[in-house]
Amino acid sequence: MASDARVRYTKMIIKQQFAGLLKEMPLKRVTVKAICDRAEINRATFYRYYNDPYDLMDQIEEEFLTDLMKKLEQSSTKGIKENFRVIMEKMKENIALYQALFSENGDRKFLERLIILCYQGSAVALQQRFEHLSLQEQEYLYYFLANGCSGILTQWVSGGMETPIDQVADFTERLYENAVRGM
């Protein structure tokens, strides 16, 4: 049990220090040595869990997306407001990390992966609500709305996640409803 707690703690410290480095420099300049120096661990400890900073980034993103998918499956019937709230709450659990991921030094593909994941989870509901639209039009509608939502998320994260989650989720739902009203 103590060993598991130490592993979780070590990984948490590595991720925190990695996030701090991403705030200062692009991923391609982040080194294992810099992460280890800041985390006060040796390189062997880092390599026990990760191959390199890119692998660390991938694992962070995978953990987020896997956990998010589980949470979205539980709330998928509750609509866009609840789904958006779930995403924001998940991000707020580790503010510094997600500010780094959404920063200019973060992974630009992360938002794309998030959008694709959400599309896969909402395709059936989209088809049911907009059955009068062709599959191509449904896909266009989804990406139109999703890119707007990703813009809102990016702004919220870069603003320090200070605006209350309910306020942002309510606003997003109103935008969504107005956008699809005439569809």
Evaluate whether 161 touches 95 at the Cβ level (below 8 Å): yes
Task: Convert the pLDDT of each residue in 17-73 to its tens digit.
Answer: 999 999 899 999 999 999 999 999 999 999 999 999 999 999 998 988 888 888 777
On whether the CB atoms of residues 148 and 83 are closer than 8 A, the answer is: no
For residue range 57-87, list pLDDT tens digits in order.
999 989 888 888 887 777 655 677 888 888 8
- Averaged confidence pLDDT in the chain: 86
CATH number, domain containing residue 37? 1.10.357.10
pTM across the whole model: 0.78
- Residue 101, both tokens: 């991921």
Q: The domain containing residue 139 runs over which residues?
A: 2-180
Q: List the structure tokens of 163.
A: 């605006």
Q: How far apart are CA 94 and CA 98, in angstroms?
A: 7
- What is the share, in percent, of the chain residues with pLDDT greater than 70? 94
Is there a contact between 169 and 87 (Cβ–Cβ < 8 Å)? Answer: no
Separation between Cα atoms, residue 134 and residue 25, nearest integer Å? 44
Spatial contact of 75 and 169, defined as CB atoms under 8 Å apart: no
- The DSSP secondary-structure symbol of 181 reads T
Structural domain count, the chain: 1
Would you say 14 and 49 are in contact if contact means Cβ atoms under 8 Å apart? yes
